[in-house]
Amino acid sequence: MVSIARKNLFHDKVRLAVALAGITFAVVLITVQVGVYLAFLANASVLIDHTEADIWITAHGLENFDFGRAFSEKKLYEVEEVPGVLWAEKYFLAFGYWKTPTGSQETVQMIGFDPETLVGAPWDIVRGNPQDVKYFNSIFYDEAETNRLGDVPIGGETEINNHRVRVVGITRGAKSFIQSPYIFTSFKNALNLSYVSKGNTVYILVKVAPGASVEAVKQRLKETVKDVDVYTSREFSKKTRDYWMINTGTGVALLSIALMGVVIGTVIVANTIYTSTTEHLKEYGTLKAVGASNWHLYKIILEQAVINSVLGFGLGMFVSYWVIQVMKRGNLQVLLPWPILAGVYVTTLLMCLGSSLLSIYKVTKIDPALVFKS
């Protein structure tokens, strides 16, 4: 079989290059934006998702995890009394000012957990033992934050809110790129370092007893404990992500750039495929004259679209890989699971097929007399 599509495509190298540039551009924009979006999404709730609690109790009217507000820790006793609660733990979150080695200030979020139970402790440790945060003003910070916080070594000291603190460990993957860097320490240290008054907590984490229903325990907590909000972990995680994605418009911004990539890519590809079709109209007409059905001509055009999509996607992935490497060096995270890459290819294919519609319309309408014009 002679592939007219392939021959046509590779005959005009300049046009092929333009089409592939268009597709590659679109693929890179989509891949990178979606990757950033997903990383953003996963990241927004990273601490909630890595904590083994079933239920989160927060101050009433809280919008998301990062805006935690203090409430009386006496609620803990009420929570513990509710049937179905296996255990309940205080968990602290507050902003603080970190003094970098150069002397500048960086806003950080201090996480306070119980070093005995390690509920809410960092989950991926590069160096150090998380139980060591029980010592006076001992903290962990994330390896990905050194460019913001400065490279303070283990055993090194700096200041948070003008209190001397000591680095006892380094975490991995506990990085918020929406918010300020997370600093892990004990509940007690965090409370002392913060401006929150004693006798308060920011969250209460609840584990439901085996066999008890999370939903039922949540309902009971809601009825029993006043002036707080009660969420399952999944609800709180989603609420936090939705806040960052929807309320701040971040998601819309990221996805509209990806959409723009699709639109620009489609326009470029549609344009090149259409010009190519118009130039070959007489030959298509000739095929029609000798008995080709419209469908036969569509197949040639669609095959061109498919070849374009495969080559453009390949190039796009190659370029995206390098763009992502550069972004990672700049500390921007990108998350691209396989199903998403498959989705990007499907989008590319649809874009290329969609770009062919105008050409398909054009060959459907070929005037047979055209082939007789010299």
Partner 1 sequence: MNETATQTVVRLDRVGKTYGSGESAVHAVEDVSLELEPGKFFILMGPSGSGKTTLLMLMGCLLRPTSGVVYLFDRKVSGLGEAELPRVRRDNVGFIFQGFNLFPALTALENVEATLNLKGLRGEAARAKARDLLGHIGLAKRLHHLPEDLSGGEKQRVAVARALAGNPPIILADEPTGQLDSKTGRLIVEVLKDLAHNEGRLIFMVSHDTRILGLADRIFTIDDGHLKD
Q: Is 12 in the site for partner 1 (CB under 8 A)?
A: yes
Q: Is 1 in the site for partner 1 (CB under 8 A)?
A: yes
Quick one: which of 290, 330, 338, 365 contacts partner 1 (CB under 8 A)? 290
Minimum CB separation from partner 1 for residue 357, in Å? 20
Q: Which is nearer to partner 1, 259 or 292 (CB)?
A: 292
DSSP string, 143-210: GGGHHHH--PPTT-EEEETTEEEEEEEEESS---SSSPPEEEEEHHHHHHHSSPPTTEESEEEEEEPT
Q: Is 8 in the site for partner 1 (CB under 8 A)?
A: yes
Name 67's Cβ contacts closer than 8 Å, sequence gap at least 6.
none
Q: Residue 343 is encoded by which pair of tokens?
A: 């989705």
Q: Is 75 in the site for partner 1 (CB under 8 A)?
A: no
Q: Nearest 10 degrees: CA dihedral of 244, 250, 252, 257?
A: -150
Q: Which is nearer to partner 1, 271 or 286 (CB)?
A: 286
Minimum CB separation from partner 1 for residue 241, in Å? 51
Q: Is 291 in the site for partner 1 (CB under 8 A)?
A: yes
> What is the footprint of partner 1 within residues 334-373 (CB under 8 A)?
368-369, 371-373
Q: Please give the helix or strand (H or E) that residue 40 lies within, else none.
A: helix 13-44
Binding mask 270-289 for partner 1 (x = CB under 8 A): ----------x-xx-xxxxx
Q: Is 292 in the site for partner 1 (CB under 8 A)?
A: yes
| Total of residues contacting partner 1 (CB under 8 A) | 27
> What is the footprint of partner 1 within residues 227-246 (CB under 8 A)?
none
* Beta carbons of 323 and 317 less than 8 angstroms apart: no
Minimum CB separation from partner 1 for residue 175, in Å? 52
Q: Which is nearer to partner 1, 104 or 364 (CB)?
A: 364
Q: Residue 160 is encoded by which pair of tokens?
A: 């948070």
* Beta carbons of 309 and 345 less than 8 angstroms apart: yes
* Beta carbons of 96 and 108 less than 8 angstroms apart: yes
φ/ψ (deg, to 5) at 359: -65, -40
**Piece of the chain touching partner 1 by CB under 8 A; list 2-10, 79-87, 160-168, 232-240:** 2-10
Q: Which is nearer to partner 1, 156 or 368 (CB)?
A: 368
Q: Which is nearer to partner 1, 218 or 288 (CB)?
A: 288
Minimum CB separation from partner 1 for residue 331, in Å? 48
Residue 221 CA to residue 82 CA, distance in Å, equals: 7
Q: Which is nearer to partner 1, 167 or 300 (CB)?
A: 300
Q: Backbone dihedral region of 291: left (phi > 0), alpha (psi from -120 to 50 degrees) or beta?
A: left
Minimum CB separation from partner 1 for residue 293, in Å? 5
> What is the footprint of partner 1 within residues 296-335 (CB under 8 A)?
296
Distance of CA 139 to the CA centre of its chain: 27
Q: Is 7 in the site for partner 1 (CB under 8 A)?
A: yes
Distances (CA, A) of 307 to 2, 287, 294, 301, 313: 15, 21, 20, 10, 10
Minimum CB separation from partner 1 for residue 319, in Å? 28
3-state secondary structure of 325: helix
Residues that bind partner 1 (CB under 8 A): 1-2, 4, 7-8, 10-12, 280, 282-283, 285-293, 296, 368-369, 371-374
